């Protein structure tokens, strides 16, 4: 089917059609018409538009052809508007500051059509029942196009490196396919998820992916680089739960770890030990040599205490020159005694701080949680360990157990 455009010169109908045939290519040519209609040429057994009746032309070269007259200018204008809109949208897509990829959903849609799923709720139930299906579906999700910003983010020179299966370069393809499926099933609201990807150079990228539905193009995924934001969030979270000077867990995190440890000990019917450590002679050093020397000494002590800890243990700064040590999965008091002796031993050598050789010794109080005392709380255990520590401080450079661990 070809459209012969409206009148622009003195051509007759037959002359216009002959000119179209002689051109040897599909294009629009002008023809004469009083009412300036558009004319459509079609093969006899092909497509015909029956707006104003059919005219059979008598010229020998036109046998086998018919001409249908019809006002199709509105349709052509709409078609042209759509073409221009798609072109404009493609330009916006290519040069958008956001990282965008256009998806080919044909393979995924055919797989979805085979499933008895009608909405997001049924999808969630299906994925719980068939956990491997999500990974299989993710392989069906393919990238048709990618814009300049996406190429820059993922460190590729050309979009062809991102085209093909999304799983080739996006570690969060499993999550992306769930977002796409929800949108296809009519989900309302924001569809986004945080995932981890790798650039072509191997750089770890934390990105927020969102599904975008476009009226003129296929579904798109938007990638927002949140690597620095997540790093900053982790730094803030670390500062909130760790001592700024020594880097050890602070009092807030100690309480949380102790609460969790006690619950785990009760559940597993195991013992737990809490050691409270105070530094003998620290105040004298801090007062005489200055707070800077005192701070550096605390950092050095923290490093030595961490060398005594197992992976399951927690060493924390409780405040001032006091430290706390949580031991989980304790078999008997002997385990706590072994750690206390180790702490005393590692703290024996003097510390060289800011040109000064200084020494401190630990006084250690130990409180035990036993299976038979399930009602004991973190507050009670800390109070017991603190009491035992002050008892040890009377002798200095030693450890003492709390006499009665009953709550």
Query: In this structure, are 222 and 248 located in the same domain?
Result: no
Domain that holds residue 252: 242-401
Structure tokens at 325: 């040590």
Query: In this structure, are 396 and 313 located in the same domain?
Result: yes
Query: In this structure, are 124 and 22 located in the same domain?
Result: no
Looking at per-residue pLDDT, the higher value among 169 and 375 belongs to 169
Query: In this structure, are 62 and 100 located in the same domain?
Result: no
Tell me: the pLDDT tens digits for 284-325? 999 999 999 999 999 999 999 999 999 999 999 999 999 999
Query: In this structure, are 150 and 210 located in the same domain?
Result: yes
Q: What angle do CA 269, 271, 273 make, to 5 degrees?
A: 155
**DSSP per-residue codes, 16-57:** HHHHHHHHTS--------TT--EEEEEETTS----SS-EEE-
79 within some domain: no
Instruction: Give the CATH number, domain containing residue 118.
Output: 3.30.450.20
139 within some domain: yes
Burial 70-94 (b: 16+ CB within 10 A, else e): bebeeeeeeeeeeeeeeeeeeeebe
Lowest mean pLDDT among 50-59, 147-156, 298-307: 50-59
Query: In this structure, are 127 and 12 located in the same domain?
Result: no
Last residue of a domain, which of 194, 229, 264? Answer: 229
Reported as type and span, the H/E element at residue 240 is helix 227-241
Query: In this structure, are 137 and 110 located in the same domain?
Result: yes
- The Cα–Cα gap between 280 and 362 comes to 6
Last residue of a domain, which of 32, 49, 71? Answer: 71
237 within some domain: no
Among the listed residues 180, 158, 43, the one whose alpha carbon sits nearest the alpha carbon of residue 108: 180
Lowest mean pLDDT among 2-16, 37-51, 196-210, 320-334: 37-51
Residue 201 has pLDDT above 70, yes or no: yes
- The Cα–Cα gap between 341 and 328 comes to 17
Looking at per-residue pLDDT, the higher value among 12 and 43 belongs to 12
Q: Whole-structure pTM over 0.85, yes or no? A: no
Last residue of a domain, which of 197, 229, 261? Answer: 229
Cα 139 to chain centroid distance, Å, stands at: 19
Sign of CA dihedral 31, 33, 35, 37: negative
Structure tokens at 304: 């030595």
Tell me: the pLDDT tens digits for 74-84? 666 777 788 88
The CB density around residue 25, as the number of other CB atoms within 10 Å, is 6
Mean pLDDT of 193-197: 90
pLDDT in the model for residue 8 = 44
Confidence of residue 404 (pLDDT cuts 50, 70, 90): low
Residue 1 has pLDDT above 60, yes or no: no
Instruction: Give the CATH number, domain containing residue 358.
Output: 3.30.70.270
């Amino acid at each position: 089917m070809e459209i012969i455009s409206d009148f622009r010169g003195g051509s007759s109908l037959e002359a216009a059609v002959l000119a179209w045939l002689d051109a040897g290519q599909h294009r629009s040519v002008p023809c004469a018409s009083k009412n300036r209609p558009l004319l459509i040429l079609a093969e006899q057994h092909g497509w015909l538009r029956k707006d104003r009746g059919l005219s059979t032309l008598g010229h020998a070269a036109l046998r086998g052809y018919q001409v249908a007259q019809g006002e199709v200018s509105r349709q052509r204008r709409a078609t042209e508007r759509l073409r221009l809109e798609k072109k404009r949208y493609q330009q916006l897509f290519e040069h958008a500051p956001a990282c965008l990829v256009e998806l080919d959903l044909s393979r995924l849609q055919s797989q979805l059509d085979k499933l008895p799923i009608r909405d997001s709720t049924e999808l969630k139930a299906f994925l719980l029942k068939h956990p491997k299906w999500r990974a299989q579906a993710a392989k069906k999700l393919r990238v048709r196009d990618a814009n300049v910003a996406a190429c820059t983010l993922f460190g590729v020179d050309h979009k062809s490196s991102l085209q093909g299966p999304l799983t080739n370069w996006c570690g969060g393809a499993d999550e992306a396919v769930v977002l796409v499926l929800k949108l296809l099933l009519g989900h309302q609201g924001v569809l986004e998820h945080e995932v981890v990807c790798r650039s072509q150079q191997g750089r770890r990228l934390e990105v927020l992916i969102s599904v975008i539905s476009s009226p003129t193009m296929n579904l798109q995924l938007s990638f927002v680089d949140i690597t620095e934001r997540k790093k900053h969030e982790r730094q803030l979270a670390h500062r909130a739960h760790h001592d700024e000077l020594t880097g050890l867990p602070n009092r807030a995190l100690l309480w949380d770890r102790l609460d969790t440890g006690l619950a785990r000990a009760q559940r597993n019917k195991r013992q737990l030990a809490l050691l409270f450590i105070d530094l003998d002679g620290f105040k004298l050093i801090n007062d005489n040599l200055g707070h800077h020397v005192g701070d550096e000494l605390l950092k050095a002590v923290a490093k030595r205490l961490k060398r005594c800890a197992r992976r399951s243990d927690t060493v924390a700064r409780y405040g001032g020159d006091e430290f706390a040590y949580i031991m989980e999965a304790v078999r008997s008091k002997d385990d706590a005694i072994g750690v206390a002796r180790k702490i005393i031993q590692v703290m024996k050598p003097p510390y060289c701080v800011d040109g000064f050789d200084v020494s401190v010794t630990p006084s250690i109080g130990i409180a035990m949680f036993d299976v038979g005392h399930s009602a004991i709380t973190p507050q009670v255990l800390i109070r017991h360990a603190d009491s035992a520590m002050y008892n040890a401080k009377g002798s200095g450079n030693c450890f003492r157990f709390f006499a009665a661990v009953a709550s």
